[in-house]
Structures are given as structure tokens and as C-alpha cells.
Structure 1
Amino acid sequence: MMTGYAVAYSFAAFFGTLEAEFGARRGETSLVFSISAFLYFLLGFPAGLIADRIGPRPVVIGGLLLIAAGLVAASQAQSLWQIYAGYGLGVGVGIGLSYVPSVAAVQRWFVRLRGAASGVAIAGIGVGTLIGAPLAHLLIATLGWRQSYLALAAFAVVGAVMAGALIRPAPERYGLTPDGDPPPPSGALAVPAGLALGEAVRSGPFWAIYIGALLLSFGLFVPFVHLAPYAVDVGLGEAFGVLLIVLLGVGSTVGRFLFASLTGRLGRRLSFAAMYLGAAVMLALWTQSTSAPALAMFALLFGAFYGGFVAIAPSLAADYFGGRALGSIIGALYSGVAFGALLGAPAAGFAYDFFGSYGGAILAGAALCLISFVLTLAMPEPARWLAERERAR
């Protein structure tokens, strides 16, 4: 996860360079990131299905190698549409294949400490965000953007080798059980408990999570694309813009652990609702932030709420639906995020191109987060919902 998201969120460092190289407007340049984000969330569903059948390791390795291939292709681009094809498709499909299988694998190995384990694993996204943009900024300054893409491709290949060495399928394949509990007395291999994909998709909690994540995603990725150019617009400079992306990564990493702790007090559902509310407030405050301290605080806090989303979402899905088809269920849930990721950042970019301001687009994202907050509050607690479901059988 660190490898894929270091590449994905390094895009902020390339934004101005690509804009100048190809004479593109902000909306057009934003599409590079949005195409990749659309694909990596949309493809989580088939990736989860495949990983449920053959195990996560080959799927993750293949995804990371595709990231490398896409970066090599992007390094040779002579027009922006070729960046769309190389970076957008290669990185998007590659992360799409690697993310959901990695997340689902962790959920299957833990129950009692699922939130903490998920937070540790998904902290790789925060670390990737933390290192990706400054590394790319340094590489671009010393090598140029084309050679920088080749260097990141080599980084992705190293990540593929490490993933092959570390990722494991469900514990039941080894005759083990989650949390290291003793195996069943009969000695028979346990079958992961939970709902089939079709059962989950027909349930109310599935659609509440799906719609909530979809609405959140319209505003969620806007800072990762536009915060660095925004810093330049308000006179703080390109280097400070890259620093803000680093602070998003710091906040994201810390937020995973903070929300993992919060779930122990509030439960995952209410913690998820708090994440939506916090994201809405921070987006609204961004529109009023023009000073370095205010933008730094925004980046840290918004990053923390983003980290809460990626840490809690898969664990919340596991609470409701169990581990039986978790990879495909998480993938199906994330497919909604794909559409918000595709539209949100370009919409903000085109709003800037036409109106000279991001304000309206950012506030619209905040309003959608508030709707997600209300939807999540209306969901039943997982234990109560499962008990009622059993009684209804």
C-alpha cells in the first residue's frame, strides 16, 4: 500500500510541471489523477473477487508491476492524453488490483484487534503520502519529470518483490484461525463466517456505507490534487505546497491510529460518522484559509479524517458482513468511491478555470459529507443488525 499510494499522491508534485509542459488547464491536468483514482476504486471489486478465489499475493504483485509499466509509459509521453493512458491507466489499474486484496487479507487475520491491525496496515497509505510528493519534488528538480517517473517505476518493482515476500491469504488455508485462537476441536479447517456477496448487496448497511462513501469521495481527493496549486495561488510558493501534501500524509498516518483508538470508545459506526462530520468542517474551513499556519492545520486535520476513512471502512464492512466474501464486498463498496474520485477533483479544477476560485466546489464537497454523516448515524449497530437478521430467518 505504501508503494502504490506514494506513486499516486506524488501527483501533486508533478501537477505544475505537467500543466506547463503540455499547456493544460487545471481541470484537464486534474483528470490525470482522477482517471487513476477512478480505476483503482472501480477495479477493487473484480480484484477482491479474484483474490477471494486465488489468494491476494499474485493479484497484489501483478498490480504493482502494472504501476511500474504505467510509469514507464508516462515517462515517454508527448501529449497529455498519453499521460492519461500511461499514468492514469497503469497506476489506476495497478492500485486497483493491489489495494483491496491487501486490506481484505488483514481483516481476515484479526477480529478482536481488527481496528488496530487495519490501522497499522493502512498506515502504509499515509506513509506513502508522506514520502511520495517530496521524493517526486526532489527527483523532478534533479532529474526532470520523465526520469522521475522511471525512478518511481523502479520503486514500484521493489514494492512488488516485498509484497510477494510478506502477504498471506486467509488463516484457514494454513489450518489457523483469526487472532491466533485455537483451531476447532474437530481439527477440521474453519470456513470464514459471514455473508455472501449477494446477501451483503441486498442489505441496508451495504447501501448506507456505499452511498456515504460515494458522497464523501467528491470532496475527499480535492486537496490531494489542488492544495499544492492553491498554496501557489495565495503566494506561499510551490515548495510550501509540497509540504502541505506531506502534512496530509502525516495527518493521515496519525489519524489511522487515533480513529483506531476512538473505535474502542465509540464503536466503529459512530467513529465513522465522526469522520464524515470532521471532513465536512475541515473542507468548509479550507475556503477561508490563506495563511501558512491555517493551511498547515487544515492539511494535518483533513489528513487525519481521511486516515480515519481508510482505516475504519474495511473494518466496518467486516463487522457487518464477516470474512466469507470480504474482498469482493469491500471492492463493491469502493466502486462508489470511484465515481466521486473521477468527478470531484476535475470539477474543482474546471471551477477554478471558469470562476477563478475553488470555493464553490469545496463547499459542495462539505455539504455531501454532511449527508454521509446523517446516513451513518441512521445505520443500526452491527451486532444489533446481525441479531435481527438471524431472528428474521
Structure 2
Amino acid sequence: MAVRDIMRNDSGEKTVTVSDPAELSNLQDGREDIDFPEGGLKAWSVVLGAWCAMIPSMGLLNSLGVLHAWTSTHQLKEYSESSIGWIFGAYGFFLYFAGAQTGPIFDTYGPSVVVIPGSFGMVVSLICLSFSEEYYQIFLSFGVLGGLSACTLFNPAITAVGHWFNVRRGYATGIACTAGGIGGVIFPLIILFAAPKIGFPWAIRIIAFISALMCAVACVLLKTRFPGNLKAGTSVDFKALRDIKYASTTAAVFLVEFAVFIPVTYIASYAIHVGVEDTMSYLVIAFLNLGAIPGRFLPGLVADRVGRFNMMVLTSVVCAILILALWLHASDNLASIICYAVLFGFWSGAAISLTPVCISQVCATEDYGKRSGTTFTITSVGMLTSIPIAGAIQQQNGGEYGGLIIFGGVLYLAAALAFAVARGVCRGWSLKTKF
């Protein structure tokens, strides 16, 4: 039987020590340092800081559907769906692509060097967006500057949580990631209710003010535990892909991230297309993100008990079923659309909260920033292309959404298979294995 000693130090931080080799392997995948606080004031304050950092970065990512629907019917109404998709694909691309730089910088110098400039950049991005009218202006202000700034908030936030939690890492990361769902509810509601009354530019400026406040808190609270890794480079660590465990995990993460933002981006436009009133169409994104709030932390809580890879297989399969069985046949039935949005929001939450935890299981903690940055840099290619590819499929089908929906569902099935293979490679093929 595994022996765990749970102690609290003078600061109230809980340390979990494991003496059984098999249990050690399950928790740390062979790593030597297993003394993590797993709680206490300092650890949970870092989770709060990560939560604040992800309100603007992931909140805006989860608001792409409303931004896409609004710009496609206002500033960019003369552009094709595929062309508009490149703007929002670029946001996701730069959010993940710049991880190759922000991860190693974080590992070496800590979060402040990354988060403070990123906070400033995020606010500037939103202010610039509020003045943007032309395609290139929106692309540069939101797609490029916004995406780069979001990366410097998201990557350090996820990595910092991993410095304080191991056994409960999925749960703690999931709690931090609920910020994406909350931001994805608040920001669309601001656009929906404020933009018609005071204008879209002032609605975006309100979002910029909220983002500035959240970023200020994040800059104060985000802390690390481990000394700087001065050997960390500032480039993509392709050599790490020689490790079959890390490579297979990266492939699985690539596929699920390729899939997840197609429904998020196009569900509001789909509702408008089938005749749902504009206000309710925008609210569909809020419903999706309401489902995503518990979907960020509940799967993480379960995953800590049954295995993170196991949970990713399950959630990917369920998302594929929801897309192909519910969304594909929803037509103009508003109840079906809302039901799909809430359920998909819940089950797709693991794609954000658990994928970094999966990466952490196949690398050393001191290399977590660099490895996660490398994975998400590779994943960024999928983020850049998935939204415009889906838009091109819709255009090819004469504006109908059937092909786009099937494309998203098939991608989720591929992601489920990839996580199952990665799980087998990393821990074995027994169905009873917890990993």
C-alpha cells in the first residue's frame, strides 16, 4: 500500500510525501521532486492570480463567436467567412505560438518579466480594437497584438499553478481556467447590451478596463517555487519530440485544440444563419460559456482520481457525439441549439484545463514552461488554420453549415483516438490503468 504523509508547515501549506515507488510513478512519472504544497494561502493565491490572468486572455478567446458574428455583420460585412476567420484564428495562433518564447523566459526569470508587459499589451490591444474599422486594423490590433499579449498571460498562469500542485493539479488548474468561461459570459454580454446603446468601441473599452484590473491583480499574485532554470532556451524544443511519450501527447493536444474552437467561433453565426434573432444568437455564446465554467474544474477534479488522459478520451468522445448527433440535426430549433451550447461548453472545457496538465505528466516540473510552450507552439498551427478552413468549407457548401459541423465532429473523434494512443504509449494499454 502506498504511504502518503500529509503535513502542514507554519504557513498552512500542505505537503504531500509519497513513499511507495508505484505511487511515486503514478504521481510524478519518475520525477524526484514530489514535495508540493497542494494547498495553503500561497498556493491558492497563485491560483487566484492565474484566474485573473485568464479573464482577459481566455475570456476573449471564448468570446470569439460573438466578435465573429458582430464584425461579420458590421465592420467586415463585405468580407467572406473564411477571410474573417483568419483574424480570430490569428488570435489563437499567437496565443499558443509565442509560448516557445514565454515558456523558457518564465522558467528562467519568473512570471513578472512576462506577465507585466503582456498585461500592458492586452489593454493596448483592446483600445486599438475600439478604434479599428478596417480589416487590417482589426487583424493587427486583435489578431496579432491581442494574441501575443494573451500568450504572455495564459502560459505563465498555467505553468505557475503547476509549481504549487501535483496530486491536485487537475483540480487547481481547472479552477483557474473557469476564468475563461466567466470572461466568455461577461464579455459577450457587454457587447450584446452595451454596443447597441453606447457603440461597439465603448463596449470594447469597458472590456479593456476590466482586463486592466484583472491583469494588475495577476501581476501581484503569480509566483513560482522553483529556482530559475538558466539552461532554458528561447526556441521550440523539437529535440523533446524524440521522447515518444511527449510526442504522442503533443499530437493529441494538437488535434483537440484544432477541433475545440470551431464550434465556439461559429455557433453564434450558425444561429443567425438559421433565423434565430440576433440578440438570442449572441446569447448562445454566453450559454456555452456558462456550461464551460463547471466544465473547467469538474473534469479536472474527476481526472485527478481516474486519470487525466482517460478523462480527455472521454470528453473528446462526448464532444464528437454532441456535434454529430445534436448540433448537426438542430436546424432552427432554438431549444436544441441552446442545449447543445451548454452541453458542449461543459464537455469541451477539459480541452483548455486538462491539456496543460497532461503535458506536465510527461515532463519534469522545472521544464514545464518550456515543454508546454513547445507543445502549444506546435498546436498554434492548428489554431491558425482550423477556423478559416471551417469557414472555407462553409463557403464551399453554399453558406450551409453541415460540412463545417461534420468537420468539427470528425476532428474530435481523431482527438479521442490520439489521446487513447498517447495513454497507451505512456502508461500501458490496460483499461484499468489510471493515467
If the length of structure 2 is used for normalisation, what is the TM-score? Answer: 0.78
CA distance in 1, matches of 2:71, 2:177: 29
Alignment-derived partner of residue 192 in structure 1: none
1-structure distance, mates of 2:411, 2:69: 29
Instruction: Determine if contact 1:216/1:368 at 8 Å carries over to the other structure.
Output: yes
Distance 1:304 1:124 in 2: 14
2:375 to 327, 333, 354: 333
Distance 1:124 1:58 in 2: 22
SS at match of 1:221: helix
CA distance in 2, matches of 1:216, 1:15: 21
Q: CA deviation at 1:382?
A: 8.8
Equivalent in the alignment of 1:163 = 218
Letter in 1 for 2:414: I
Aligned to 1:360: 403
Residue 344 of structure 2 corresponds to which residue in structure 1?
302
CA distance in 1 between counterparts of 2:140 and 2:404 reads 26
Counterpart residue type for residue 300 of structure 1: V
Q: Residue deviations 1:168-216, cap 9 Å, x none?
A: 12x2459xxxxxxxxxxxxxxxxxxxxx967743211222222122222
Q: Distance in 2 between matches of 1:24 and 1:71?
A: 22
**Structure-to-structure mapping, 1:350-389, within 5 angstroms:** 350-355=392-397, 356-380=399-423, 384=427
Shift of 1:54: 0.8
Q: How many corresponding residue pairs? A: 363
Indicate conservation of the 8 Å contact 1:213/1:336, yes or no.
Answer: no
Give, in whole Å, the separation in 2 of the partners of 1:231 and 1:102: 34
1:322 aligns with 2:364: yes
Matches of 1:240 and 1:113 in 2, distance apart? 38
- Taking the aligned partners of 1:324 and 1:197, their CA distance within structure 2 comes to 14
What percentage of residue pairs aligned between the two structures are identical?
A: 23
Residue deviations 1:226-271, cap 9 Å, x none?
1111111112212222221112212211112221232144211111
- How far is the alpha carbon of 1:321 from its aligned partner? 1.1
What's the counterpart of residue 75 of structure 2?
21
Q: 1:295-334 CA deviation, whole Å, 9 max, x = no partner?
A: 1121112112221121211112222213111011111111
1:1-393 equivalent positions in 2, closer than 5 A: 1-19=54-72, 20-22=74-76, 23-169=78-224, 171-173=225-227, 200-285=240-325, 286-290=327-331, 291-355=333-397, 356-380=399-423, 384=427
The 3 A distance-change label for structure 1 pair 382 and 259 is farther
User: Per-residue CA shift, 1:136-166, capped at 9, x if unaligned?
Assistant: 2222122212222222222222222111121
SS at match of 1:226: helix
RMSD: 2.2
Is the alpha carbon distance of 1:264 and 1:86 closer, same or farther for their aligned partners in structure 2, counting shifts above 3 Å? Answer: closer
Q: Structure 2: any 5+ residue segments left out of the alignment?
A: 1-53, 229-235, 429-435
One-letter code aligned to 2:212: V
Equivalent AA in structure 2 for residue 361 of structure 1: L
- The one-letter code matched in structure 1 to 2:217 is M
Structure 1 runs not aligned, ≥5 long: 175-195, 386-393
- Residue 68 (structure 1) shift: 1.3
Alignment TM-score, normalising by the size of structure 1? 0.86
Check whether the contact 2:127–2:204 (CA below 8 A) recurs between aligned residues.
Answer: yes
Q: CA deviation at 1:40?
A: 0.4
CA distance in 1, matches of 2:416, 2:60: 30
